[in-house]
Structure formats: C-alpha cells, structure tokens
Structure 1
C-alpha cells in the first residue's frame, strides 16, 4: 500500500511540474510580448508560433537524438514525426505511416554492439533536449532582431522558442512520465545501472531487428534476458520482459506465455501503463480463445481497456483483440468491419515479421472461436 501511494504521489508531482512549466512558459511569452509593445495584439501571433513551434521543435528534438546517436556509433532505423515515418530496410529508405499514442515523434536507432563495460547512452539521450535549448537561443536572437521592424514576427519567434524551451525542459529534467523514463532520466541513470543499460540496449536492438523483418521467435534468446535474470521491477526492465512474453506467444508456447503474463500483471505499478493494458487485453483475447467467453468479454469491455484500444487503434494486435471480442459477442457487422480493417492495417504495418506473427495468431483465434461456436 505504501509503495502504491508513493507511485501515485510521484505521478501527481510529475504532472504538477509539467503544468507549472506550461504556465511559466505562457507567462514568459506574455511578458516578452509586452516588452516589444504587443501586449494586446500578441495572442494570435503567439498561438501561431506555438503551433508551428511544437511541430518544428519535435523535428529538432528527434533530429538531436539522430545526430548525437549517429555520432556515437548508433545506426539509423526510423525517424517519425506525427504519423509519418521514414524507415531504413535492406539498405533503402522508405516512407510509411505509424502512430504511437502519447508521442509527437520518435527517432529509433540501432545501438552499437553490446559490451559488458557498457555503450554510449549519455549523448544519444540528451541530444534531443540539447538541440531544443540551442534553438531557444537562436529564437531569442531572432526576437531581438525583429522586435522593432516586425513585432508580429518577433511574437511568432517567441512562440517557437517557448515550444522549444518547454520540450527541452520536459524531456531534459529527469522524470518518469506515465511510468516511462524520459531522456534526462535515462541519461542520468543508465550510466550507473548496468541492468537498465542492458534493458535499454535490448529494446533498441530488438526494434531494429523487427524493422528488418525478423520475428521475435527468430531473435537470439539472450537479448530477452537481463543480467542476473533481473526482474521487471521498473518500466525499463519490464519492457524487456514484455518482449519475452511476446516472443513466447510467437513461438506458440502459449502455456508458458500465460504463466508469464499472469506474473507480469501482478507487478502492479512496475510496468509502463501501455504494457500493463496490452497484457490485460491479451488476457481477454486468450480467455476468448480458451472458451472463457464471459470472462474475456468482461476484461475487454472494461472502460480502461476500451480507452486503451481506442488510443492504440492503428496497432494490428489491438485491432485483432477488438475483432475477436466483436465476433465472440455475436456482433457480426462490427466483426466484419474490424476484420477488413485488420487486413488493411497489417498490409501497412512497418514491421513485416510482426505482421506475419499477427496473421498466424489471427488464424488461431478464428479457429478457436469457430470451435467454441460449434460447441454451443
């Protein structure tokens, strides 16, 4: 109970800090606008600057990760802004669509080969916030340059600079947001904790292998095992354990996967929220497949899981869960719609090996649900 209260308090303080940073940025913007004589007319230009600024600053932030990562031995895998993602596969660059709820962009690189003595993590993690802060200085210089000749343009640069300041601080101050460590937290702690550093390496390496088309079952098993077989006692390590669970599913080792899923779901507050909900959705799916229809529908019909599925609506694995629930509930039209959408999403999914695994699981789901319907 004490640990649960501590987790809730920590999350509350994190969001209070983020809110205060936003309020401080707004106050700073209004003050600067007043300084250049546009206190009453500045709002539209500040808003325009902020809207453009967040888009620009996300690109700069992810570009910072890219530049500092490549400079320290990482390899390019993907670069995403919004839902538009540039990937590299078989030595060629390709454009595709991919959206991850809660993120405006993401740069994922392949890590250098693992070494027991460690690998570079500091520059890669802090490269994003650093570029944001550099852009703030540049925006400040442009505000000074245009404050007399074009106050409206100066206000736009204020907005762009404030967006950079906000993103730099939110990502640079060591925090855990929704359970996940941010760039500053990683830069501060990964160098001190060899187990977390290995977990960080494993996530990047597994993602890079999946982008090349490899399935989880074909990736070396040792990538899914932390030093000393460390447990999922924080979101960073927990992510590797969730990968281990998904690998068991891909291997068809369903009983072992079920046991591990149950173990992970008992790690209350230690997994990232996205992983916690994904495992619960899987629990509901496998309940349906094993003939526990009412139990599975109860899980998948809960408000938390339904909200999670809406947020992750572009993920084929989640669409599969929704399709299975609709079919098990006898909602034929909805099931047909979701089935067609699933095929479309699988064709566009940037991870071809993962798409193949989902298609195999889909066939198993349909077979098991058909068998359950015949018994009724």
Structure 2
C-alpha cells in the first residue's frame, strides 16, 4: 500500500510540474507566436531531448563521482556500454532490466569517500544544463522547451525518493551505517569482479549479513544475491534453494531486476535439484519470466540447457545449448563473472556426462 501511495504521489507531482512548466512557457512571447505545425517538431524533439538528458544524467554521475574520489568503471546508455578493463576502455553490449542507463564507479583501495555528490551528480548536471539551455530559447524555442521540460521531469523522477532511484539511495544511506556499508560492498564487488576475482575470492565480511534484513531494501537485497552467487560457485545448491524458499513470500518486495533474477534462479535450482512443487510449475508457466529468459545471455542459455536435460530428458540438445552459452560468455561485462559463468557451464556439462554414463 505504501509503495502504491508513493507511486501515486510521484505521478501527481509530475503532472503538477508539467502543468506549471506549460503555464510558464505558455506566457512566453516566443512560444505564443508558434503555430500548430510546431507541435510535430515538439513531439520529435521530446525523445531526442530525453536521450540527451539520459546521457547528461549519467555523465553527471561520472563527473561528480570523479570529484568525490571514485574511479571510473563503466558507462551505459541503453545496451551500449563503455567498460574499463585491464586499463583499457572496451565497448560491450549489456542490458539491465529496469534501467535505461548506468554509470558505475569503484572505490580506490584504502579510500573512504562520500557518495553524496556521486549520487546527486546526475540531477545536478540535468539541472545545470536545463537552466543554461534557456539562453538559447529565442533561437530554438520548440527544442529548448522540450529539452527544459524533460530535464525538469528527470530531476523530479530521480530526485524524489521512489523505487530504486538516486533520491531513494540517498535516503537509504541517511538511515543507518549498514546501508552505507552495503553500498560500499556493492561498489567494491564491482572492483573485484573487474580484476577477475570470483565470488569465492571475496572477503568473508562481504557475506556477513543479517538474513532477516535481506529483503529490507535494494541495498540489502544485493547482499542476498551476492550470497546466492557464492553458493552457486560452491555448488551448494540445496542451501541456495533453502534461502530462496525463505524469501518466496517476500519476493514481490524485490526491485524489478532482482525480482526477475530471483524467479530465474529459483527455476534453475528447483529444476537442477529435480524438485516437484507448485512453485516450480508456476515459474514454468510464468510469461514474464519466459520473456526475460529470451534475452541473449550465457546464463539464460545455461538454465535453458538444464531444463532440456532434466525436464525434456534430452542430454544431447542440452550439451548443444551449453555450447551456445559458452559462446556468449565473451559479452559478460565483468572478467570475474566470465570466469564464474565458465565454471557454472563446466559444472552442468560434467553433471550431464555423469548422468549419461550411469
């Protein structure tokens, strides 16, 4: 109920802001002289302005993150991603459900930094360039109106705490030290994965979490999936499924990327362990999960191979699907995750060989 109320309030604020901007610009002598034909130009300008502000927003995180002492790791707009790996910048395709862009920074070794300007950097850059754009209102009235409007809307949608936006992250960091520690863990895990470390190489402190608080917010939820990933690598599948079962009734509290991954990992574990349950049947018929699993990734192909092996009793096709998964490892952004995925694929392949020869 609280989530729905926040969504409604945010929507109302956006409507009020849009009406206010429309009123202000409606009083402008420049805009009142425009004809109806300019409406088409405005509609064309809006998506262009949105893409520009998306780039500006992520650039703001990068600039203010560097000012705060953080190091650059990756910069993503839609699926196109620049990633720093082995001191080189590489271009990769990488999607994250529920996000259109992302700028990930890492914490230098033995450094204590503030996350405030890093998190505020996006909306600060949107605000600065939106205000500066008004200097060109006489030259390009329609586009500048669209650009300014999109900028203000992006500031509101990212600044007002909601979902898992920048404002909400700042709010969570202000609540307690634990949330700050979890965000630090998250950024440090990126550094380790970029170096080629896998989950079993992570410090034990990364997994020292309160199980009852794992679903408290998306910072603690990250810890849950960090723990699940380590259990995967250690092939402690029963223990991983046990944790997943504990969280089943609270899975709706997960943010969208984690919610989708929760269902995907549960499907994988329950299938691999040959579980017979209503939950597994439900996931096998889940259209949202089915669509998510269509995304081209090594992980999805590996899970599909597991289903073909266990459910369809077709080890030959399963091995072919694992070969497809192996060919997709190269697009995984983190070096450590590529190593981890290769280990997972090899493990499933070995299990199939053992099953066939028994």
Q: Which category describes the TM-score, using the shorter chain as reference length?
A: 0.7 to 0.9
Indicate if the aligned counterparts of 1:233 and 1:267 stay in contact, CA closer than 8 A.
no
Q: 3-state DSSP class of the match of 1:267? A: helix
The 5 A counterparts of 1:265-276 are: 265-276=248-259
CA distance in 2, matches of 1:309, 1:263: 23
2:8 to 1, 4, 13: 13
CA distance in 1, matches of 2:162, 2:251: 19
Q: Which moved more, 1:239-248 or 1:20-29?
A: 20-29
| Number of the residue aligned with 1:134 | 128
Indicate if the aligned counterparts of 1:114 and 1:201 stay in contact, CA closer than 8 A.
no
Alpha-carbon distance, 1:55 to partner: 1.5
Backbone CA RMSD of aligned residues: 3.3
| Number of the residue aligned with 1:150 | none
CA deviation profile, 1:320-354 (whole Å, cap 9, x unmatched): 22333345443979868854542332122122221
| Number of the residue aligned with 2:221 | 238
Q: 3-state DSSP class of the match of 1:40? A: coil
The 5 A counterparts of 1:249-268 are: 249-268=232-251
Matched, 1:362 2:345: yes
CA deviation profile, 1:281-322 (whole Å, cap 9, x unmatched): 222212222233786465233223223334xx1442233223
Alpha-carbon distance, 1:42 to partner: 1.4
Residues 330, 268 of structure 1: alpha-carbon distance in 2 compared, 3 angstrom cutoff: closer
Q: Which moved more, 1:221-230 or 1:85-94?
A: 221-230
| Number of the residue aligned with 2:146 | 159
CA distance in 1, matches of 2:323, 2:205: 37
Q: 3-state DSSP class of the match of 2:82? A: strand
| Number of the residue aligned with 1:348 | 331
| Number of the residue aligned with 1:71 | 67
How many residues are aligned here? Answer: 355
Indicate if the aligned counterparts of 2:326 and 2:345 stay in contact, CA closer than 8 A.
no
Residues 294, 230 of structure 1: alpha-carbon distance in 2 compared, 3 angstrom cutoff: closer
Return 5+ residue gaps in structure 2 as ranges.
none
CA distance in 2, matches of 1:112, 1:18: 38
| Number of the residue aligned with 1:48 | 44
Residues 44, 72 of structure 1: alpha-carbon distance in 2 compared, 3 angstrom cutoff: same
CA distance in 1, matches of 2:276, 2:350: 15
Residues 369, 130 of structure 1: alpha-carbon distance in 2 compared, 3 angstrom cutoff: same
| Number of the residue aligned with 2:298 | 316
The 5 A counterparts of 1:272-283 are: 272-283=255-266
Q: Which moved more, 1:125-134 or 1:103-112?
A: 103-112
Return 5+ residue gaps in structure 1 as ranges.
147-152
Q: 3-state DSSP class of the match of 2:333? A: coil
Q: Which moved more, 1:18-27 or 1:125-134?
A: 18-27
Indicate if the aligned counterparts of 2:97 and 2:256 stay in contact, CA closer than 8 A.
no
Q: 3-state DSSP class of the match of 1:222? A: helix
CA distance in 2, matches of 1:319, 1:25: 49
CA deviation profile, 1:216-244 (whole Å, cap 9, x unmatched): 11111212334899543222211112111
2:119 to 125, 134, 149: 125
